[in-house]
Amino acid sequence: MICSFDRFHRSTRRRCASARRCLTAPITGPAAALVVAVALGASSSRTQAQAGPAGSVQAPTLLPSADSLRQAREGDLHVGDRVILRVPGVPTLTDTFVVRAGRTLELPLIPAIPLAGVSRADLQHHMRAELARFVLDTSGVEVRSLMRVAVVGDVVAPGYYAVAPDALIGDVLMRAGGLGHTASPDRIVVRRGDSEIWSAKDLRKAIVAGRTLDELKLRAGDEIIVPTRRDWAQYAQTAAIVAGAAVSVILIRHR
């Protein structure tokens, strides 16, 4: 009985040692190809599982930019914009009102209406909801917004103009009477404060593409600047006059 147990024990140890050698030995030949095929199949299965049904690849999730988040938080309406409001049966609320500090709309006889975070597309719905607290029927309320921008430089009538957000740059220039005789249309820029937000080159492309003021992200107070064309003949004439005057002064002093 003991001998049989010893033989069984030795046989088991030999099998274990052989199994360890098989596990640690490098895999070559057909066995290696089989292992690679199994690994690739597993990887392909994981890829298909991630791709979704019917092998469609899921698009990467794009996070909103900081500008998009800021615009969503602040809304499209800025201080100085105009809101054209029409409330049927309420003459005191049918007028053009200005967006004031804090992005609020001050209306007669009722509290100011906040506009922060409101897009132009949602403005009418927002105003109807706010006015429903004071007006019995708001179904006929109509709302439009205007953007107040400046046109300065070589135009017929420079100044500030309230225009629709879907207006084109050309529409705004026509409101200002059109370009002057010495205007340089290829050098028009847009400035906001001390910063140039649209260079002449980029603005030309936007004008050709037919982009609106809203698409250009313009807001109240922005300036459309139309420079005067460089008249090199006039510059040369002025330079000649200055040079002649300088020569005359020198000759007089040497007499």
Candidates 3.10.560.10, 3.40.50.300, 3.30.2320.80, 1.20.930.40; correct CATH number of 148-226?
A: 3.10.560.10
pLDDT digits (tens, 9 = 90+) for 227-244: 998 655 555 565 666 666
CA 93 from centroid of its chain's CA atoms: 33
More confident residue, 171 or 1: 171
More confident residue, 88 or 247: 88
Domain 68-146 has CATH 3.40.91: no
- The H-assigned helical ranges of 2-113 are 2-24, 30-51, 66-74
Task: Report pTM.
Answer: 0.61
CA distances from 193 to 176, 196, 208, 216, 220 (A): 20, 8, 25, 16, 11
Domain map of the chain by residue range?
68-146, 148-226
pLDDT digits (tens, 9 = 90+) for 116-163: 999 999 999 999 999 999 999 999 999 999 999 999 999 999 999 999
In the prediction, which pLDDT does 23 show?
A: 47
pLDDT digits (tens, 9 = 90+) for 24-52: 555 555 544 444 444 445 445 554 544 45
